Amino acid sequence: MTSHRFANGALGALCGGVYAVGLFTLGALSIGIEYGTYLPLKVFGAPASLVDPSLTAWGVFVVWPIVGFLLAACRGRRIPVFALAIHAAGVAVILSWGTPFESASELWEQFGRVRRHVETSVRTGFAIYATGQVIAWGLLLVPRGGEDEGLRG
């Protein structure tokens, strides 16, 4: 990988980290003072939030800097598309079947019970999440430096 691609990747990872901070903050506000919902953080951090319960909160800091790096550093589209597709598949699993630690019905029941108490943070969090998804997928439409896949310079 050339230093130019690495610098682009580092900037992409930084942008992904900033996105993660925003998602984490609003997801944490959605939890409230113990009686909120973890659903936003589980979605924002998918697929990491499917692996371990402790990654529910911290998954955003794993997923989005990596995706940001790949979006900025990869020449082709295949690897970033794969990373975003894995995230989308994780979200689908969480919303449809839940996680290994909570069923989808438990997640949705909890979300329904507390929604009105944390509605502003949930709405704002999902608005930022959706905006980030549009930007990430939109970046794949930008012409790349070549069709050679991977991170090689």
Residue pLDDT, tens place only, 10-60: 999 999 999 999 999 999 999 876 678 899 999 999 999 999 888 888 999
Q: What is the pLDDT of residue 84?
A: 97
In a domain, 146, yes or no: no
The torsion angles phi and psi of 101, rounded to 5 degrees, stand at -110, -20
User: What letter would DSSP give residue 50?
Assistant: G
Q: What is the pLDDT of residue 150?
A: 55
Q: What is the pLDDT of residue 153?
A: 41
Spatial distance between the Cα atoms of 145 and 10, rounded to a whole number of angstroms? 17
Spatial distance between the Cα atoms of 57 and 79, rounded to a whole number of angstroms? 25
In a domain, 133, yes or no: yes
In a domain, 84, yes or no: yes
Residues of the domain holding 60: 3-139
Domain count, the chain: 1
Q: What is the pLDDT of residue 148?
A: 47
Tens of pLDDT, residue by residue over 75-120, are: 889 999 999 999 999 999 999 999 998 999 999 998 988 878 888 8
In a domain, 152, yes or no: no
Three-state DSSP state, 116: coil
Q: Quickly state the pLDDT bin for 151 (edges 50, 70, 90).
A: low
Q: Percentages helix, strand, coil for the chain, rounded to the nearest 5?
A: 70, 0, 25
Q: Quickly state the pLDDT bin for 125 (edges 50, 70, 90).
A: very high
Residue 28's alpha-carbon distances to 35, 42, 65, 104, in angstroms, are: 11, 11, 19, 20
Spatial distance between the Cα atoms of 46 and 128, rounded to a whole number of angstroms? 16
pTM, 2 dp: 0.88
In a domain, 8, yes or no: yes
In a domain, 10, yes or no: yes
In a domain, 114, yes or no: yes
Q: How many CB atoms lie within 10 A of CB 82?
A: 12
In a domain, 149, yes or no: no
